[in-house]
Structure 1
Amino acid sequence: MAGLAYSLGKRDINQHFNIKNAKLISLVLVVLLSVFHATSRYIGGADSCEWLLSSGRYLGENVWQPYGCMMHKYKSIEAKSCLSQKRVAFVGDSRIRQLFYSFIDIINPGQKEDDKKHVDIAFEEKSLSLYVDFLWNPEANNSMKERLISWKHEGSAKPDVVILGAATWSIKLHGGSSETLQQYKVNVTAMAQHLESLAQRGEVYWVLQEPVNEELLRTDRKMITNRQLELYNQAAMDALDASKSNNRWRVKLLAATRQAAMETIDQSDDGLHIPEGTRNIGAMVLMNALCNKLQRPIDGSCCQTVPMPNLLQKLAVCFFIGCGLVILGLHVLGDQRHHRPVPPDVESLEERKPASAAPPPAVKTLFQALCRMGVIMAYFYLCDRADLFMKEQKFYTHSTFFVPLVYIFVLGVFYNENSKEVKLLNREQTDEWKGWMQLVILIYHISGASAFIPVYMHVRVLVAAYLFQTGYGHFSFFWLKGDFGLYRVCQVLFRLNFLVLVLCVVMNRPYQFYYFVPLVTFWFFVIYALLAVWPQIVQKRANASKMWHFGVLLKLLVLSVFISFLAYSQAFFNSIFSFWPFSTLFELNGSVYEWAFRWKLDRFVVIYGMLFAFIYLVLQKRQVLSEGKGEALFSPFISNMLLLFSLTTFVMYSMWASGCKNKTECNEMHPYISVLQILAFVLIRNIPGYARSIYSSFFAWFGKISLELFICQYHIWLAADTKGILVLIPGVPSLNILVSTFIFVCVAHEISVITNDLAKV
């Protein structure tokens, strides 16, 4: 009874919550979230630059996440390029001097701090006409105001960027009196108009005061309390806010360092000066505020404006709108035909059929699929090209990778079913294999686990396993079917490339950016060419003469030699793939480096997959294998030996990967040893009869849309072309991941359906 109740309950749930209803829910969520973010931007008026400067949180030690946008970590060469021909002035007390040195350290790492105090300090890169000065003005008084006025005079070296702030000296020298606070506000108000004048030709930042650790302060600094600092911060904000009125040139407030220091001030050496890691955050925030709009780093969304759509993107919009109009027209015409009375035939008195027939079903299917694709592409654009949804950077911890991994494997084991067939690597099993691998890769990407080398090396094996399946699957088809027709080729190429080609246009990215699709497409052509060229060797011909088996092995050997030569001759490799029109497919940012790196990593694994398929099909034909339900593939002795070998290989590879210290060295070994891990998995999964008799329907479902999941993640789950994480629900990371994942999976499934519909047309 309990089992029957469970079965009926499960059936009832499936009737009400299926993939169709899930897609409707995801569509409603997208609309609601789009309206929410658009309204928040319109009413709140805040932009990503204000978010960068004002608020954020720590992801880990010295890793700062601004609210709603991504902060790029600038290297020296980038900073110099951005600040070339510029003059930057830091004006203030010892805290501003700290910020100055951290800023200089980005431009010129290793620059030693001068022991001089209470004096001006200059830094310059004459070759770049780059000047950064620290000007000692510890109080917001007439002296600071005169400094600002002097920059307005003709012939003076006016700074392009001014960063200033002061308060602690005023509190210290005057004992924190209320009169000094009022005078401070008057002084800042008097300086505001001069600061705004400087802001008309450059950028001006007022640094809000960071907190202090009152317990560590020296006796002569005890009057500098956090209460006093908050009063001075409020006075400065009121003075600067009151003076700007309707003037669009305004002084920007740097409050991020203050917020960061609230969590780290207990690490201060003297209670007054903030720790080095925190002041480095402040300097990097400034660098992002100054340079992101010029350098436009893909992983620095703060302070960036949205680029205008190019011609191809505009044409794509017109195309999808046109498809929508066609569907609307077909729907209107269909309604008219349905309601229009048709007079009977005069002679026969029978009802005449309409003269104009309805459009063929294939035409309607075509335009409906394209309309749905247009709606989905609009969502892609909103997520990763428009300034609507927020983005945050990744940060790796072991828990962010391994905890979700445990969850999905528990679900995968729970949802298991009996296989319809029990052959080695049957369709259900390969779908399961692709499914769990894809889920691991997704978790790997969103958690930023590439920073952890053991995980990185294991994921490299998963990518190799996909290519192994490419070799295995396509070889098996051509060997068994002998179908080398153009129809088959076009079907495969369309299914592999349709989504990527649309994204290349809509998202303005090169084909090579979606590196996995170029890889599998390239290897499909290689497999096709290898088996299609004379002499064509397929199973029927091989059955007639066993000598044809050596022909297959000879072809694979020749291919291996050619691949080895191509891998070890960089000049030859470049001459092939940098040659037009191949360069348009394989170059990324004007270079084939990325393609060479990806291709060389797994250059032999497709051949291994083809060889494995050949050996398996020959053994199967000769009835060497036992593939009955519940039967082991081989005799007990051989099966046990192979299982022992596979388990040993698994453990040894994991030990080797865990001991990897350098990605470069480990990647050099990867093409030769990844196949051992793959074969070990195949044997463990297939030798026992009971293992072949069941599969995980949970993983298999994801396996059927694995390609769409891999490509869609670039823009609607991750963000900034995979460099960050899409934020649909700000402030609640766990809920955001759940909602964005739900929408992402629904979109990937719908694209899979659309691709299949169009492939049939």
Structure 2
Amino acid sequence: MASNSSWPRVATVLFSAIFLVTIFLNSIFSVDPYRCGALIGDGQWIDPVDANGTRRPFNTWQPDGCMMRKYTSDDIHRCMEGRHMVFSGDSTTRQVFWGMARLLDRELANKTRRESATHAAYDMEFGGIRMRQIWNPFMDLDKDGVELKKELELYRHERENPVPVSEQKAAALTMIGFGSWWALRYFEEESLQQFSSAIDNVTAILRQQDYPKFGQRPMIPGDGIGNEVFIAPIAPPYYDDLPSKRKGPKGLHVGEVESMDEYLDSVRDERSLNLLWAFPALSRTEPAAMVDRHETGFHVIDSVAETKATILLNARCNAKLDAMDGYPHNRTCCTNYGGPSLVQLMFLFFGTCYVIACFLAKASKMFVYDEFTVMTAICALVFLFTIRRSRVAPQPDTIAPQKAPEVNVLLPRDQTEEWKGWMQAAILVYHWTGASKDLGIYIFIRLLVASYLFQTGYGHTIFFLKKKDFGFKRIAATMLRLNLLSCALPYVMGTDYMFYYFAPLVSFWFMVVYSTLAIGRQHNDNLGALLGKISISAFITYVVMMKSPVPEWGFTVLRLLCNIKWDLHEWTFRVGLDAFIVFVGMLTAIAHVRYPNACAWALSSYVGAVGGLVAMYGYYHACGEYFPTKEIYNSWHPYISWIPILGFIAVRNMPGPAQFFTSSAAAWLGRCSLETFTLQFHLFLAADTKGVLRLGMFSGDSTLFNDRWRDLVFIVPIFLWVSSRLAEATGALVKLATDGTVGQEAENESEKLWSVNSKFDELVLARVRPLMPAMHTWANDLRVRVAMMFGAMWVLNLLS
């Protein structure tokens, strides 16, 4: 039986093995490798319902297992590349035609629709893209459908004889949808017979029976899935709501439409048809999605018609645009994410080899306020139930007085770890629920980020003033600890360093603190000089980062020399948003070091606690009164965020038992907060933060209470465990990189390698031996090791 100490390693290897086996099985046996079937299959609306239980206007459709992309006119242009689109069938297909037209040019589409005949063919341009609507409700390929027949034959010809995109004549996207007119005008037996005959005629032209199924075909370089023909099943009406005139012998009967759809499904695999089962699913359980529920029962409201058009675009264009745009991958349906780069393949290969070596050698988002509240409350309960004593309160003097433990430290480690922990929990809930839409929650999270940066300024200033250690090893250890994970992930995930913005932000401010205190360090004992240095540093940092072209120059140099393409606007926004809170942290640290009694009175007394409560309440009231938008608040945030932060510190350090108790769960999370913040982008969220990770094992309405809580039960423990293990691993790697040396044993090993076996060896050794001390010196030099790391990253960037 394995000892307790071996269980973490066993668990790590076991988890890695399961992970690799899962990837292998999914790659080999998956019937939907690109999630195309998930896109055109089932799904649900995730728009929150109103007080009456109505979900209008139906804006957010969530396929089962992937995330859709919202398409702009420019996106559609890039996908079509001069090719046209074809829509043919009855009035339900015409609705999708107009929905697509609105996505291209809403104003022109609405005007043209009002002026156009109803039951007619259209050949129009919207936003520079040609669109054909071939009116053919009975799918007659000899009369009304002659033009459709030509389009289908051209599609088949180019599929069998591929030509470059620039030479293609076929439609990039063709949609066929019919059957409702037979159901409305024929006897039940006749409608199915006529429908099946029409389907047979269409599939006889397509001749796709030997063609791989949609979503399983290899992607076409430069064009994604390539040109496709999609067939839309009929959405059954709400039979009970139909008027009596629609229920006659030749009217609609229960099961009539369903029998047509069953026929489609029965020939789908045999004839390799692309069936849009998502279309009937859009209105299957949502009567409000229908515009004529009490008339024909087949037509949807405009927003649902646009969703149908968006599903078509996601099926046709996602893989193409994903290869063009790269990350952020905010669309996961019907795409291969553009394929891995050479560097990603290298990291995957070596990572797999490492796990094998272990065996061989060692044996979407839709914000709902209630969901944010409930998840935050759950985290708070967990933290409260794990409150434990962390420090000993001062004891009264005894006969033999001993040195009392240090209890008057402002913000001791146990408190800062706890603070980081519950802040990280709130940030995770915030990102998972998409709560940025709520201004109050957004302001709260902005204060949490500012609090972390306050701790950065405070903690590092305390260290430098007390330890006076400004050596290179301190810089290297801190920067490696902050950046190891966020520098490695871009090579594996195809993102970039700035995507994990918190590590770059904290690293930047650490270097600001270091530079401020290291330059003229001999004057750090002079309070006036120290305050002057901080003032100058704040002024220079703000002017250089916010008012000068220096950041733009720096990013340009990185792009030209290192192939690093960072978002300058996003970076300056992040830096400017918390431009001064780090300096407030530094000033607080100076006050605590130089004037501990005064600082304790202000931030560790009943007077300070009352003042803190007043400050936090006043801040809350002022935000609600004077900051109606994010933009207005953001403009004030750099100058006022310190008020509630110092207020919280005063309340948290109020004299009494609370000073000596902390939540062990929150502190544990705080110790791996950097890893959880970074890994959340891939192990907790999805689509590069635009959606949430799901297992795909459960189905429901995508709400927390009725559906997604089951995913969280599995995902959260794994996510937190991986984060904790990575935090430990990062610490060990940093120690190895900064403390590792090549000692005498290594020298002895090298001597063995250079044993003299011949006269030639003796001559070679005579020339090499003088260089060996220098080689060992370089290997032991931390600056050389860091330079080698930068060199390796430079090469990887050039290869990316």
TM-score with structure 2 setting the length: 0.76
1:217 is matched with 242
The CA deviation at 1:464 is 0.8
**Equivalent residues of 1:587, 1:595 under 8 A apart:** no
Structure 1 position 750 matched with structure 2 position 751: no
**Following TM superposition, by how much is the alpha carbon of 1:34 offset from its aligned partner in structure 2, in angstroms?**
6.4
Q: Within 5 A, what are the aligned runs for 1:482-493? A: 482-493=468-479
How much has 1:645 moved relative to structure 2?
Answer: 3.0
* 1:690-729 correspondence runs (5 A): 690-729=657-696
CA distance in 2, matches of 1:24, 1:718: 27
Distance 1:196 1:614, change over 3 A: farther
> Are residues 700 and 17 of structure 1, via their aligned partners in 2, closer, same or farther at CA, if it must alter by over 3 Å?
farther
Paired residue secondary structure (1:124): strand
Are the aligned partners of 2:282 and 2:289 in contact in 1 as well (CA < 8 Å)? no
For the pair 1:558 / 2:569, whether they are aligned, the reply is no
Q: Which has the higher contact order (CA 8 A, sep 6+)?
A: 1
Going from structure 1 to structure 2, the CA distance change for 1:36 and 1:182 (only over 3 Å counts) comes to: farther
Aligned mates of 1:669, 1:456 — CA distance in 2 = 14
Q: Which residue of 1 aligns with 2:387?
A: 416
Report the equivalent of 2:281: 259
Stretch deviating more after TM superposition (483-492 or 16-25): 16-25
- How many residues in Structure 1 have an aligned counterpart in Structure 2? 657
Q: Tell me whether 1:464 sits opposite 2:450 in the alignment.
A: yes
Residue 604 (structure 1) aligns with: 580
Q: Could you say what secondary structure the match of 1:562 adopts?
A: helix
* In 1, Cα distance between equivalents of 2:341 and 2:170: 37
Q: For structure 1, which segment, 141-150 or 192-201, has the greater mean C-alpha deviation from structure 2 after superposition?
A: 192-201
Distance apart, 1:488 and its partner CA: 1.3
2:65–2:696: 8 Å Cα contact kept in structure 1?
no
State how 1:17-166 maps to structure 2 within 5 Å: 28=14, 35=21, 39=25, 45-47=31-33, 48-60=35-47, 61=55, 62=58, 63-110=60-107, 111-112=109-110, 113-114=113-114, 116-125=117-126, 128=128, 130-142=129-141, 143=143, 146-151=146-151, 152=153, 158-166=170-178
Distance 1:164 1:729 in 2: 30
* Equivalent position of 2:377 in the other structure: 406
Structure 2 equivalent of residue 654 of structure 1? 620
Cα shift readout 1:215-264 (whole Å, capped 9, x = no counterpart): 4434443322451111111223334544x2xxxxx431011020121122
Alpha-carbon deviation of 1:480?
Answer: 0.6
1:361 equivalent in structure 2: none
* Match in the other structure for 2:703: none
| Change over 3 Å in CA distance of 1:53–1:330 after alignment to 2 | closer
Distance in 2 between residues matched to 1:199 and 1:117, nearest whole Å: 38
Q: Cα distance, 1:596 vs. partner?
A: 0.8
1: CA distance between counterparts of 2:169 and 2:342?
43
Give unmatched runs, 5+ long, in structure 2: 48-54, 158-166, 212-225, 392-405, 699-706, 737-800
Instruction: Give the secondary-structure state (helix, strand or coil) at the position aligned to 1:425.
Output: coil
Residue among 188, 195, 210 paired with 1:184: 195
Assess if the C-alpha contact under 8 Å between 2:188 and 2:256 holds in 1: no
- Other-structure match for 2:716: 741
CA contact (8 A) 1:102 1:283 kept: yes
Q: Which amino acid aligns with 2:136?
A: N
Q: Hey, what's the Cα distance between the residues in 1 that align with 2:651 and 2:134?
A: 70
Q: Distance in 2 between matches of 1:17 and 1:462?
A: 41
Selected match of 1:275 from 295, 301, 314: 301
Q: Check conservation: 1:686, 1:692, Cα contact below 8 A.
A: yes
> Please, which of 415, 433, 436 is the counterpart of residue 429 of structure 1?
415
Mapped to 2, the partners of 1:664 and 1:20 lie a distance apart of 52
Q: Deviations over 1:50-84 (max 9, x none)?
A: 11001112222422111111111112221222223
Instruction: Tell me the equivalent position of 2:336.
Output: 305
The secondary structure found in structure 2 opposite 1:77 is: helix
Distance 2:462 2:529 in 1: 16
1:687 CA displacement: 3.0
Pairwise mapping of residues 245-644 of structure 1 onto structure 2 (< 5 A)?
A: 250-271=272-293, 272=297, 273-296=299-322, 298-317=329-348, 319-320=350-351, 393-420=364-391, 422=407, 423-538=409-524, 542=525, 548-580=526-558, 587-588=565-566, 591-620=567-596, 623-624=597-598, 633-634=604-605, 639-640=606-607, 642-644=608-610
Q: Mark the runs of 5 or more structure 1 residues left unpaired by the alignment.
A: 1-15, 245-249, 333-392, 543-547
Q: Which moved more, 1:19-28 or 1:188-197?
A: 19-28
SS of the aligned residue for 1:483 comes to coil
Residue aligned with 2:536, SS: helix
Question: 1:147: Cα distance to partner?
Answer: 3.5
CA shift for structure 1 position 744: 0.9
Indicate the percent of aligned positions where both proteins have the same amino acid.
29
Displacement after TM superposition at 1:21 (Å): 5.4
- TM-score if structure 1 supplies the norm length? 0.80
How large is the RMSD of aligned CA atoms in angstroms?
Answer: 3.2
Give the aligned residue type for 1:109: R
Aligned to 1:167: 179
Contact in 2 for aligned 1:478/1:484 (Cα 8 Å): yes
- 1:94 & 1:581 partners in 2: Cα distance? 52
Matched letter for residue 676 of structure 1:
I
| Rounded Cα–Cα distance in structure 2 between residues aligned with 1:757 and 1:26 | 16
- Code of the aligned partner of 1:574: E
Return closer, same or farther for 1:449/1:586 CA change in 2, 3 Å cut-off.
Answer: farther
After superposing the two structures, state which structure 1 stretch, 266-275 or 131-140, moved more.
266-275
Kept in 1: contact 2:42–2:278 (CA 8 A): yes
With over 3 angstroms needed to count, the CA separation of the structure-2 counterparts of 1:28 and 1:260, relative to structure 1, is farther
Distance 1:199 1:450 in 2: 49
> In the alignment, is the contact (CA less than 8 A) between 1:453 and 1:657 conserved in 2?
no
Q: Which amino acid aligns with 2:237?
A: V
Using the alignment, how far apart are the partners of 1:44 and 1:576 within structure 2? 45
Instruction: Give 1:643 shift.
Output: 2.8
User: How far apart, CA to CA, are the structure 2 residues paired with 1:163 and 1:431?
Assistant: 57
- 2:263 pairs, out of 212, 231, 235, with 235
* CA–CA separation in structure 2 for the residues paired with 1:437 and 1:316: 32
Letter paired with 1:705: C
**Cα pair 1:419 1:695 within 8 Å, conserved:** yes
2:780 — aligned with what? none
Change (3 A) 1:147 1:225: farther
Distance 1:70 1:585 in 2: 30
| Structure 1 position 652, deviation (Å) | 2.9
CA distance 1:658–1:32, change in 2 (3 Å): farther
Q: What CA distance in whole angstroms lies between the structure 1 residues aligned with 2:652 and 2:561?
A: 41
Aligned AA (1:569): K
* Per-residue deviation, 1:23: 7.8
Map Cα deviations across residues 680-721 of structure 1 (whole Å, 9 max, x no partner): 111111133333121111111111111111111111121222
State the shift of 1:331 in Å.
7.1
CA contact (8 A) 1:26 1:743 kept: no
1:536 shift after superposition: 3.0
SS of 1:162's partner is: strand
Q: Deviations over 1:140-177 (max 9, x none)?
A: 33446534333337999643321011111112222x33
Q: Provide the residue aligned with 2:216 in structure 1.
A: none
Distance 1:41-1:315 versus aligned 2 partners, 3 A rule: closer
